[in-house]
Amino acid sequence: MTTWSAVSIPLLFFWLAVVPFFTGIVVTSFFPYKMKTIGAAWITGLLAGFVLFEPVALFCMLTITYESFLVCVRVYSCVMMVLAVLGAVMLVRRAVIRRGAPGIRGLMLALFPGYGEETLSDLMHPRRDAVRFDRRFGVSESIYFAAFLLMFLIQAVMAVRYAFFDGDDAYYVVVSVLADQTDTMYTILPYTGYSTALDFRHALATWTLWTAFIARSCHIHAAVLIHTVLQPYLLAMCYYAYFLVAMRLFRRRLDMVPLFLCFISICSMFGNVSIYTRETFFMMRTWQGKAMVGSFIIPLMFFLLLGFTRDEAGLRWVHRTPVEKRTLWFLLLMVNISASFFSTSGIMITLALTAAGFGIPVLFTGWRGDVERKQLIRHKMISLGAAASTCIPNVALAAAGWLLSR
């Protein structure tokens, strides 16, 4: 049985780094300039990839009887390649028409404006946070970053060198291997290999099929990809989500970000107090969809919740610009759909967090005289409606799955 081929590593780099990055360039082109960074492009590109895979996979699953996975791979590859090429063109365009400082630094700022220092108009903006916006780190912060990176490296090496047994792999990993080896999508029982009707309960979460897509595209055995390659990659993804949370949490004390990451890393390693904790799933079952809901989607939700409640200048959410509001709702929509992409239980979790996390601040925002009462009520209704509308795809999916499974 072939483990991998000579081209697997460059193809893995292509599908897990290059394509998400350029896809993210397209997505972040509509975002405020402060979100146009390399990391933001990568993470939003990944989210966009997950969101796009769900309808493609579901369509193939429900309408194609034979070789549905083969069609899914071809269609999805085309979609992602188009987006990646578009992103590359946009990036080249930014480099060509750049204005500002010459040289490498000027090029970087033209490509990724989010790394730029504030302009004079930013400094003069009434919404600017005047307390602290200094991103320079001292010696101790550098040491903490190094400690965090060391812990991450240890976790990555352990993920590759050690096997984490879990009985659910007999289902989820086998679904991926089946898709890659037989071009079927949830029509063969993973446990035994007998044919079955479409398993709607699990089929709505197409994460296992996405991993099969990566395995097929990179010519690597699906189980090898999941257990050996994906685990460090997913750890990095989740820690980046925590990094985003930290940047929002400590907007006035950015020197605390490395320390926060160190604590998160230690909590993750020492959170194995039972088989049920999020930390146990994160470290031992990283590749499973429900673990990704707990360790990737939930931190992203907190990142968005913090962004919603905590404005740059400490002013309330009613004063966000239209671009910022659209960005927030769009990201929330992508995160919600990604939750159902990872696991059907993700639907329930993100619904609860959206309802409570956005509903409570909106409903309990009192009038303080900074806007007209009518305007405040209008803002509330729009925000509640926007938050609710980001849940519509999940609710529709859940309802469809429930109906189809009866």
Partner 1 sequence: MYGIFMESWVIFKLYGGRWSYLLLYFAALIFVAVKAKDKEIKLLFAWLPLMMLAVFFFPPFRKVYVRVFGDGNTQYRLLWLVPMGMTVSYAGCLAATLVPMRGNRLGLKRITDRILIPVAVSALIMACGSLVYLNPLVTKAENPWHIPQEAIEVADIIAPEQTPGAGRLRVRAAVPSELVHFIRQYNTDIVLAYGRDIIAYNYYNEIHERLEKTERIDVRGLAEVLKDDGVQYLVLKRDAPVDTDPADAGFMLYAETESYRIFEVPGWAGG
Interactions with partner 1, residue window 267-286 (CB under 8 A): 267-274, 276-280, 283-284
DSSP class of 183: -
Please answer whether residues 148 and 258 qualify as being in contact, where contact means their C-beta atoms are separated by less than 8 angstroms: yes
Per CB under 8 A, 310 contacts partner 1: yes
* Torsional class of 164: left (φ above 0), alpha (ψ -120 to 50), beta (otherwise): beta
Question: For residues 346-385, which are near partner 1 according to CB under 8 A?
Answer: 348-349, 352-353, 356-357, 360-361
CB of 227 to partner 1, least distance (A): 4
Q: In the set 2, 63, 121, 192, which binds partner 1 (CB under 8 A)?
A: 192
Q: For the chain, state the CA radius of gyration.
A: 22
Per CB under 8 A, 266 contacts partner 1: yes
Stretch that binds partner 1, among 28-36, 38-46, 232-240, 300-308 (CB under 8 A): 300-308
Report in angstroms the alpha-carbon separations of 173 from 68, 158, 170, 225: 18, 20, 6, 10
Question: For residues 3-22, which are near partner 1 according to CB under 8 A?
Answer: 3-4
Give the interface size with partner 1 as a residue count (CB under 8 A).
81
Of 238, 248, 355, 239, the residue nearest 297 (C-alpha): 238
Burial of 406 (0-12, 13-18, 19+ CB in 10 A): exposed
Per CB under 8 A, 1 contacts partner 1: yes
User: Given the complex with partner 1, which of 84 and 178 has the nearer CB atom?
Assistant: 178
For 53-91, the DSSP string reads HHHHHHHHHHH-SSSHHHHHHHHHHHHHHHHHHHHHHHH
User: Given the complex with partner 1, which of 9 and 82 has the nearer CB atom?
Assistant: 9
CB of 224 to partner 1, least distance (A): 4
Stretch that binds partner 1, among 62-70, 74-82, 208-216, 251-259 (CB under 8 A): 251-259
Report in angstroms the alpha-carbon separations of 304 from 50, 210, 219, 259, 349: 18, 25, 36, 21, 15
User: Given the complex with partner 1, which of 112 and 242 has the nearer CB atom?
Assistant: 242
Which residues, listed in sequence order, are joined to residue 188 by a DSSP beta bridge?
Answer: 195
Q: In the set 194, 368, 369, 406, which binds partner 1 (CB under 8 A)?
A: 194
Question: For residues 153-182, which are near partner 1 according to CB under 8 A?
Answer: 158, 160-167, 169-171, 173-174, 177-178, 181-182
